């Protein structure tokens, strides 16, 4: 039975306890002379110095192509020098119509003997298929690259979502043979977290080293729960070090340490701007407040203020949609009043139909307790702004179920962690944020001081 590319990569990572991918980029400034032979020898030395800690190697074809036919021959020798045990990812970023893509794939996999390559998704599935028809060969699709101008195209909206997210979902669909991954830059940890919540694919994550990405943020955002799923390519920080062996070993150890001690803040990273906006808009305030439940609280959440900022409200809708995309339901059910603008924004962005249970049933007209068309037996997903004790949600759910609707899931922006989950044993509660995680993020980013953090955290723990 054949082993897929990513099964082989994962086995290598586990064997040597490393997520480090050594980039083979023989910049002309680093060569003893401007020749293919010098580029080849440069890579030979780097491979020999790092073999024990390299989970994979990534030669960039441009630095060989610049030397013409001799450069291509040198690239073939470099890949052969790695040997068959360590995966080689050819960084060529190919993309063309199917017949041309077939030739590119044959050049990479047969002529050069690479194990995987970087590929552009821009021409669609038929242009990608030649690169993934053999499960033993893999690709990393360009998704959210690490360069500053990545957003010029990758952040554009396509069917109500950024292009990069659409690419990630396509990659998941195309991964029938288990050999499709994504290029997602470490310079965008919030996107790493957003995409990790969407897909379980391997990420090739450039940006650590010379580009200056924060290693711990990137790993916290992008690693799978099993501590795998990310390959971090580093080139110049190793090749230009006085001792490349020591530099590679140090990087491997730093990656492992940061990965094992990463905070569990994926939702915060995925929605960092939204977390900041909650404070900016006054949706979260600190002081002394009496809650609807009668309790006194050192923190007050007023998510109605989101309606004053259309951009922030749109971000909220995207955060809800990211959670709901994997759930099964027929209609949204927004609970009045604070959640109605949120549910409307979600409906407009997603195309999912919206209903809502009235807070006060009319004594005229149809006297319907539910506004909006629906059919008995359908499943409604309940949308609210936050959850404290759960009483108002149970009232809304009772009206929905009495009308013949089924309810399985409840989605909120913030879970105050006040014990409401105990009241919802028959339903699954989902939240974009948990309040304790927001507090930890705000303290770490110095948006609130330690006294505020400790006072609110103490309140949460006592309740």
Task: Kindly list the catalytic residues.
Answer: 93
Task: Give the phi and the psi of residue 284 in degrees, each rounded to 5.
Answer: -125, 125
CA angle 204, 207, 213 (to 5 degrees): 125
356, 333 contact by CB (below 8 A): yes
The 3-state DSSP class for residue 271 equals coil
Q: Is 294 exposed, middle or buried (0-12, 13-18, 19+ CB in 10 A)?
A: exposed
- Write down the residue that tokens 């809708």 correspond to: 317
Q: Which two tokens stand for residue 343?
A: 């549910």
382, 409 contact by CB (below 8 A): yes
Distance CA 142, CA 433 (A): 29
113, 76 contact by CB (below 8 A): yes
Half-sphere exposure of 378 (CA within 13 A, CB side): 17
User: What is the per-residue burial (b if ≥16 Cβ within 10 Å, else e) of 174-198?
Assistant: bbebebbbbbbbbbbbbbbbbbbbb
Q: Which helix H or strand E contains 402, and what residues bound it?
A: helix 391-402
Q: Which residues pair with 94 in a beta bridge?
A: 119
134, 148 contact by CB (below 8 A): no
For the chain, give the longest Cα–Cα distance: 89
189, 144 contact by CB (below 8 A): no
Pairing of the two strands 296-301 and 284-290: antiparallel
Q: Which residues pair with 383 in a beta bridge?
A: 334, 411
């Amino acid at each position: 039975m054949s082993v897929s590319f990513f099964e082989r990569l994962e086995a290598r990572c586990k064997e040597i306890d490393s997520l480090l991918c050594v980039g083979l980029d023989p910049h002309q400034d680093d060569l003893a002379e401007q020749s293919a032979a010098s580029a080849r020898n440069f890579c030979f030395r780097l491979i020999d110095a790092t073999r024990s800690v390299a989970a994979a190697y990534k030669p960039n074809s441009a630095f060989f192509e610049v030397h013409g036919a001799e450069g291509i021959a040198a690239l073939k020798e470099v890949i052969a020098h790695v040997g068959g045990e360590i995966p080689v990812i050819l960084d060529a970023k190919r993309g063309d119509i199917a017949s041309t893509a077939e030739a590119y794939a044959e050049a990479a996999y047969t002529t050069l003997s690479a194990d995987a390559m970087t590929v552009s998704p821009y021409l669609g599935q038929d242009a990608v298929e030649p690169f993934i028809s053999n499960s033993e060969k893999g690709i990393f699709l360009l998704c959210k690259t690490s360069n500053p101008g990545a957003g010029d195209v990758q952040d554009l909206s396509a069917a109500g979502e950024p292009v990069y997210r659409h690419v990630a979902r396509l990659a998941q669909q195309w991964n029938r043979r288990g050999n499709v991954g994504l290029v997602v830059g470490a310079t965008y940890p919030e996107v790493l977290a957003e995409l990790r919540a969407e897909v379980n694919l391997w990420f090739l994550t450039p940006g650590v080293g010379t580009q200056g990405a924060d290693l711990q943020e990137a790993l916290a955002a992008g690693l799978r729960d099993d501590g795998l799923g990310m390959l971090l390519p580093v080139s110049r920080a190793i090749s230009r070090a006085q001792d490349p062996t020591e530099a590679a070993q140090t990087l491997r150890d730093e990656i492992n340490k940061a990965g094992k001690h990463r905070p569990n803040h994926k939702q915060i990273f995925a929605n960092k701007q939204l977390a900041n906006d909650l404070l900016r808009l006054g949706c979260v305030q600190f002081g002394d407040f009496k809650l609807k439940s009668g309790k006194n609280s050192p923190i007050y959440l007023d998510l109605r203020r989101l309606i004053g900022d259309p951009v922030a409200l749109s971000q909220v809708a995207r955060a809800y949609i990211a959670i709901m995309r994997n759930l099964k339901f027929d209609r949204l059910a927004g609970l009045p009043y604070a959640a109605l603008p949120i549910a409307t924004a979600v409906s407009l962005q997603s195309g999912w139909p919206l209903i809502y249970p009235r807070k006060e049933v009319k004594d005229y007209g149809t006297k319907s307790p539910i506004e909006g068309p629906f059919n008995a037996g359908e499943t409604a997903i309940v949308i609210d702004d936050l959850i404290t004790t759960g009483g108002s949600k149970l009232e809304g759910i009772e009206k929905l179920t009495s009308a013949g609707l089924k309810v399985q899931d409840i989605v909120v922006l913030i879970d105050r962690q006040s014990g409401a989950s105990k009241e919802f044993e028959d339903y699954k509660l989902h939240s974009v944020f948990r309040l304790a995680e927001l507090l930890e993020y705000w303290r770490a980013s110095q948006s609130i001081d330690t006294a505020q953090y400790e006072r609110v955290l103490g309140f949460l723990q006592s309740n």
